[in-house]
Amino acid sequence: MIDNAVNVRIRNADVLNVMLDIEPVPFNRGFYSIDITFFFSVTLDVYSSPNTAPQQVEGLCISDKKVILYGSEGNVRVFSSDMTADDYDTQNTPARSLPTANVQVAKPIALAVNVKGKKPCHKVCHKIPSAVLQQIGGNISERGERVVLATLGVFSIVQLLRNVQMLIPSYDFCIPEKRCESSTDSPCEMFSRLDFPTDEFFPPNVVENNPDNGGGCGCGCND
């Protein structure tokens, strides 16, 4: 379908999965390198001719990113267990005192899409994890002479998280000394004390919505 397409557009793009790998930076204590691999699920509308309805094709986009962040130091080994109901708790593998990498990703924005002839650099060089393959329902087909190149805009926040010891003051129980008294007013008396919602019946005008315009035409300039 891609080889015979005359036009392609992106219908939808979403974050499928994100893989993280964290390693200490040599000769720079307290800093860590985070290798991030984004996997995006992209739905395409493929047009085989100008006057036909499009056919949908599911694709996979992969993008890499590397950041270096400060995550402090820790020289201890961490031992922990997972709670198992009605059995001995499962002991986790001892871990180094590395911080935990966390990535928040917003829904990607489709910026551009092109169909070009396949080149050696367009081959899937990543080893796609089995978890990602299960999410897309099978393997990635690399057959054909053309490839779709999608440009996606992505907003993300990368964080390093570490457990630390903190001293927080605690206080004794606070016992309420007063009793809540239920209102004995009738519903009509309670309603009569409410202010009339004038703003709900009169929507704000352009000056109220844009106070910085100074009463102009709404385009940011005064006539």
Alpha carbons 48 and 6: distance in angstroms, whole number: 6
Q: Looking at the chain, how many residues does it have?
A: 223
Does 122 score more than 60 pLDDT? no
List the one residue out of 158, 24, 20, 18 whose CA is nearest residue 96.
24
SS3 content of the chain, % helix, strand, coil (to 5): 10, 40, 50
Furthest CA-CA distance within the chain: 80
Alpha carbons 18 and 34: distance in angstroms, whole number: 12
Strands, E assignment, 71-192: 77-78, 81-82, 90-91, 95-96, 100-105, 109-117, 146-153, 156-161
Does 125 score more than 70 pLDDT? no
Does 35 score more than 90 pLDDT? yes
User: What is the average pLDDT value for the chain, to the nearest integer?
Assistant: 81
Does 223 score more than 50 pLDDT? no
Does 182 score more than 70 pLDDT? no
pLDDT value of residue 104: 92
Does 58 score more than 90 pLDDT? no
* Least trusted range by pLDDT, from 53-57, 86-90, 123-127: 123-127
Does 215 score more than 60 pLDDT? no
Does 158 score more than 90 pLDDT? yes
Sort residue 192 into left (φ over 0), alpha (ψ -120 to 50) or beta: alpha
Residue type, 108: P
Burial track 12-47 (b if 16+ CB lie within 10 A, e otherwise):
ebebbebbeebebeeeeeebbebebbbbbbbebbbb
Does 95 score more than 80 pLDDT? no
List the one residue out of 123, 148, 133 whose CA is nearest residue 57.
148
Question: Under a CB-based contact definition with an 8 Å cutoff, are residues 2 and 148 in contact?
Answer: yes
What's the pTM? 0.65
| Higher-confidence position of 9 and 204 | 9
List the one residue out of 37, 23, 104 whose CA is nearest residue 71.
23
